[in-house]
Amino acid sequence: MTVTAKARTLGELLQTEGYAGRAPFDGKIRLVQDEVRDNLTRKLRSGEELFPGVVGYDDTVIPQLVNALLARQNFILLGLRGQAKSRILRAITELLDAEVPVIAGVDMPDDVLNPVGAEGRALLEAHGLDLPIRWLPRAERYVEKLATPDVTVADLIGDVDPIKAARLGTSLGDVRSMHFGLLPRANRGIFAVNELADLAPKVQVALFNILQEGDVQIKGYPIRLELDVMLVFSANPEDYTARGKIVTPLKDRIGSEIRTHYPTDVRLGMDITAQEAVRSGDVTVPEFIAELVEEIAFQAREDGRVDKLSGVSQRLPISLMEVAAANAERRSLTQGDDAVVRVSDVYAGLPAITGKMELEYEGELKGADNVARDVIRKAAGAVYARRHGSANTRELEKWFEAGNVFRFPQGGDSAAALKATAEVPGLSDLAAEVAASSVDAVRVSAAEFILEGLYGRKKLSRAEELYAAPEPETRQQRGGRWN
């Protein structure tokens, strides 16, 4: 709804398009769900992007979400951490009108013609067409609460305020004596509860009652509140057994249960990471390094030493990319070289990996750092195999098998490091092919990636920056050739 000149009173509002001819208490209520449906319908017809920034859900989550919104349902997003649940909930505010008129001077945003709150009704009866109104932007119509076990009914719904009751001369059971919680203050908007299962059962029941029946008991007093709120939830499947559960009456009334998921392929994950990672300075991230960073998350999700119930958040590659880029920038500032991310910078980002993985018992025994290093190795091997698995590295491998070792240069400029790689037969030429760039720093990054990829495929061994022939127990002899 567009209003060219903002009305300041109800009388002025009734002169504008969409309100002309209406009267107080006319019963014509446009619910929040109707408002969302109308704007969603318009966007679908025009082909507008519905949820900007939400990547990888076009064929799975978004169609189910659109169906729930078109059906005017409350819904819950169920998925592991780092699956954009909160981002999706917040994006729904873009389906609200740019701003709506509400009664001014009341705690609970209320419809100017058909208020549900006692205070709003009293003001409308007292002032009539002179009722002051204010305009509520869509950003202020979204209220979010992270559920924790200590959240009370008073936090969400409200509590009896004896001082307010005494000042107004009302009984404690009168709704006007209430101090409103978050849910009533979200009237005419969207109320989101993250990690729903963490709420105590009695709080969930109060939430159910206020939505289904429009009433709730607070300290023994029945309170009537027929709110106009769109309620949306998120939860982690782990919570059903680990910390709590959603009570059956509330779960039964949630219209749709929509399952979220991690990116289904590395390319989608790379798009998300590129969108979300914040990098300062002029840092170059070669394509093969970006794929390596993303593959680390994929390998961690499949690793038996990592707890699959907790999941591996998409924040892992995002944080890792930021730290790796920062390490490349630090090297550039101290050594005066081009800032290009290398494999060594990825290893420098270990703190961004270990903090994002919950380990099983076997992983705890090995240690988070060792598990993370092993995941990097596997990821490097997988990316190298995908990109350059058919490359002929036999001459390079023979050089190492002859007892030679190579310490990858970490200091000095890129030109010197590139010159040093010429010591390994075929490495410089393959690095030029992998890098697809004439920039020395990118070729150096490619050379280190090749060695790490061969290490990941167990064709080399590694100790810090030192590469050597594979350990005897990792070799497999096939047809007289070492692979």
166-216 pLDDT tens trace = 777 777 767 777 788 898 899 999 999 999 988 988 888 888 877 777 777
- pLDDT averaged over every residue in the chain: 88
- pLDDT of 379 strictly over 90: yes
Task: Kindly indicate the confidence band of residue 142, based on its pLDDT and cuts at 50, 70 and 90.
Answer: very high
- pLDDT of 3 strictly over 50: no
- pLDDT of 162 strictly over 80: no
**Domain ranges, ordered by start, for the chain:** 31-96+141-259, 266-468
CA 193 to CA 205: how far, in whole Å? 14
Buried (b) or exposed (e) across 353-367, using 16+ Cβ within 10 A? bbebbbbbeebeeee
Buried (b) or exposed (e) across 285-298, using 16+ Cβ within 10 A? bbebbbbbbbbbbb
- pLDDT of 433 strictly over 80: yes
Task: Kindly indicate the confidence band of residue 2, based on its pLDDT and cuts at 50, 70 and 90.
Answer: very low
CA 134 to CA 137: how far, in whole Å? 10
First to last CA, the chain: 68
Amino acid at 337: D
380-418 pLDDT tens trace = 999 999 999 889 999 999 999 999 999 998 877 888 889
309-337 pLDDT tens trace = 888 999 999 999 999 999 999 988 888 88
| Of 373 and 220, the one with more pLDDT | 373
| Mean pLDDT, range 450-457, rounded to an integer | 94
Instruction: Write the CATH number of the domain with boundaries 31-96+141-259.
Output: 3.40.50.300
Are the C-beta atoms of 357 and 371 separated by less than 8 Å?
yes
| Mean pLDDT, range 436-460, rounded to an integer | 93
CA 156 to CA 171: how far, in whole Å? 22
CA 148 to CA 138: how far, in whole Å? 26
| Of 439 and 241, the one with more pLDDT | 439
Are the C-beta atoms of 339 and 281 separated by less than 8 Å?
yes
- pLDDT of 477 strictly over 90: no
- pLDDT of 108 strictly over 80: yes
Q: Residues 105, 106, 111, 117: is their CA dihedral positive or negative? A: negative
Query: Quick one: pLDDT at residue 179?
Result: 81
Query: Quick one: pLDDT at residue 238?
Result: 65
> Any residues with CB less than 8 A from the CB of 99 and at least 6 apart, and which?
135, 136, 137, 138
How far, CA to CA in Å, does 230 sit from each of 73, 92, 106, 255, 306? 8, 10, 20, 12, 37
| Mean pLDDT, range 372-379, rounded to an integer | 94
Query: Quick one: pLDDT at residue 241?
Result: 42
